[in-house]
Structure 1
Amino acid sequence: MKTFRTEDGLSLAYDDVGDGLPLLCLAGLTRNMADFGPVVDRFASQARIIRMDYRGRGASDHADPETYSLMQEGQDALALLDRLGVDRAAILGTSRGGLIAMLLAATAKNRLAGVLLNDIGPVIEPVGIEFIMTYLGRRPAFADYDAAAEALSVNMADGFPGMTLDQWRAAARRWWRQEADGLDLLYDPALREAVIAQSEATGGADLWPLFDALDGLPLGLIRGANSNLLSRETVAEMRRRRPDMRFSEVPDRGHVPFLDEPEAVVLIEEFLEGLQ
């Protein structure tokens, strides 16, 4: 893991491995670069995998919560590419990372070689947002990773049936850190207030123009079959507007697929091959 400095003086963590076309991996709202471990393991021989932790997440510095925004996080992503001397990169964006990719398509399209969206689109279902708000910024009530795995296997069974305790334990290690008094967040809890404030300011904004800004770029979409954030109706409209968009639905996964599933792996491979 390496770090770089932003214009406002923050230290942001990143990782850069592999050879070939640069693939910038952007994580979900509360997540970090660890989510893309399967992508590194499988594709570092085919692409240059660049991962980063947004400000306030993972190993990156916490910041003024007002800067926990799509626009600032997009600017930070471009600053990382500048630091690495990368003129153009494809983006694999999970959830919030996909929104950042769409925003960059509208504001810095010349920097993008293609976009692969993981369980995100221009319509975000309210039920999915409501679920995120049940835990956003709140410390988990688990003593350790074993307890977390047991709880997740029950609480997430509808969206992710068939997951083993080992799989949930590995996920918990990516999402939380162990402290003496139990598990704690791997991100700034002030992210909750930032999301609420930004939602109140921009609530109901039409994101279809951002999706349409992807026009002309190679495009792919992975959807969890049980997703509560990205509906099949939204996917149908995305595919109508972009009939060339590669698409795969991952069974037994909600929001979001882990990117180690066969359906996800095949689509990532096809996406990368299509960029050559």
Structure 2
Amino acid sequence: MARFTTSDGLSLHYEDEGEGPAILCLAGLTRNSADFSFVLPHLGGHRVIRMDYRGRGQSDHAPDCMSYNILREGQDAIELMDHAGLDRATILGTSRGGLIAMVLAYSHPARLSGVVLNDIGPEVDPKGLERIMDYVGRAPDLPDLDAAAAALAHVHATGFPGVPLARWRQQAGFMFEERPGGGLGIRYDARLRDALIGQAGAGEAPDLWLLFDTLRDLPLAAIRGTNSDLLTPATLAAMQARHPGMIAATVPDRGHVPFLDEPEALAAIHALLDQIE
């Protein structure tokens, strides 16, 4: 467990474990470094750095919530690499983390050894975005983490069939915290919702396909949950067509996002790492 200070003065939390070629893990929109706990035991022989974005997990909340954006979070990732003495790293990017990886491939291509995109691509299904906006910034009205686990199991019963309650209990602990007075709190700054709404109204979004195309000279893998509501089969096929060398894997019985310890996900990750090493 460690911290570093960004160029605009925030103290951000990260985990740095193992030795070998570096893997920088970048989590989803509201998630944090704990989200990679399931894949971590499978990344032996590597130096694995897991980052809490600004406003998430154990990192400082930003005075200006509009700094919760992909460009600034990408800059934070580069500053963490500088702090850790890393010239290059493979990015393992879940959802928003994959979007940050695309930005870094455009802005800092020499810093990337390869990229794994976990259930994200240059096109995002609007249905998935609507689902995300339904919960961002809102703590669940539940008494404790056991109740949260049961709620996660219920909500994700169709997208993640057969996942045991014990796994959802672990995931609930990553996502929420029990408050001293009762109830649950979210492990991120609730103003993230304000940032998303403000950024959505700030003008036309960039063409993510242009950013994706900057990955063409890098080893690349893309993992999709077969029940994902963010990354469609058509988008994954289009990604493969534009990057024929891309390793593509679909994980059965998973929605957004795979846990990354599934056999199909691990096979893709290790195939990508084998290309680099």
User: TM exceeds 0.5?
Assistant: yes
Residues 39 and 259 in structure 2, CA contact (< 8 A), matched pair in contact too: no
Q: Distance in 2 between matches of 1:136 and 1:167?
A: 22
One-letter identity of the residue aligned with 2:47: R
Structure 1: which 5+ residue stretches go unaligned? none
Q: Which amino acid aligns with 2:115?
A: V
Whether 2:15 is the aligned partner of 1:11: answer no
Q: Which moved more, 1:95-104 or 1:1-10?
A: 1-10
Where does 1:9-48 land on structure 2 (aligned, <5 Å)?
9-43=9-43, 45-48=44-47
C-alpha displacement of 1:167: 1.1
How far apart are the structure 1 equivalents of 2:206 and 2:107?
A: 17
Which ranges of 4 or more aligned residues in structure 1 deviate by more than 4 Å? none
Equivalent in the alignment of 1:131: 131
Deviation (angstroms), 1:38 = 2.2
Matches within 5 A, 1:54-65: 54-63=53-62, 64-65=64-65
Report how far residue 24 of structure 1 moved: 0.4
- TM score, norm. by length of structure 1: 0.98
Counterpart residue type for residue 51 of structure 2: M
Counterpart CA distance in 2 for 1:247 and 1:66 is: 34
Distance (Å, rounded) in 2 between the aligned partners of 1:234 and 1:183: 36
Match of 1:114 in 2: 114
Q: Which residue in 2 is equivalent to 1:79?
A: 79
Secondary structure of the 2:39 match is helix
Counterpart residue number, 1:190: 191
> Deviations for 1:152-195, whole angstroms, at most 9, x for unmatched residues?
22111111111111111111001111113211100000000101
Q: How far has the Cα of 1:202 moved from its partner?
A: 3.9
Matches within 5 A, 1:66-215: 66-179=66-179, 180-215=181-216
Local SS of the residue matching 2:258: coil
CA deviation vs aligned residue, 1:49-75 (integer Å, no higher than 9, x gap): 011100000000000201101000000
Q: AA paired with 1:243?
A: P
* Secondary structure at 1:201 match in 2: coil
1:252 is aligned to 2:253 = yes
CA distance in structure 2 between the aligned counterparts of 1:91 and 1:105, rounded to whole angstroms: 10
Between the aligned partners of 1:274 and 1:47, the Cα distance in structure 2 is 14
Alignment-mate amino acid for residue 259 of structure 2: F
Residues 209-218 or 143-152, more deviating: 143-152
Task: Give the distance between the partners of 2:151 and 2:29, measured in 1 at CA.
Answer: 22
Q: CA deviation at 1:206?
A: 2.0
The Cα offsets for residues 125-147 of structure 1, whole Å up to 9 and x where unpaired, read as: 10000000110000111111111
- Counterpart code for 2:79: A
Aligned to 1:226: 227
Q: What do residues 96-152 of structure 1 show as CA deviations (whole Å, max 9, x unaligned)?
A: 000000001111101111111000000011000000011000011111111111122
> In 2 relative to 1, CA 66–114 (structure 1 residues): closer, same or farther, beyond 3 Å?
same
- Secondary structure (helix, strand or coil) at the match of 1:30 reads coil
Measure the CA separation in 1 of the matches of 2:8 and 2:165.
41
Equivalent residue letter for 2:255: G
Identity between Structure 1 and Structure 2 (%): 55
User: Is 2:224–2:249's contact at 8 Å kept on the other side of the alignment?
Assistant: yes
Alpha-carbon separation, structure 2, partners of 1:199 and 1:275: 37
Maintained 8 Å contact 2:25/2:92 = yes
Task: Give the Å deviation of 1:94.
Answer: 0.3
**What is the alpha-carbon distance in structure 1 between the residues aligned to residue 35 and residue 273 of structure 2?**
19
Q: Distance in 2 between matches of 1:11 and 1:27?
A: 18
Provide the alpha-carbon RMSD of the alignment.
1.0
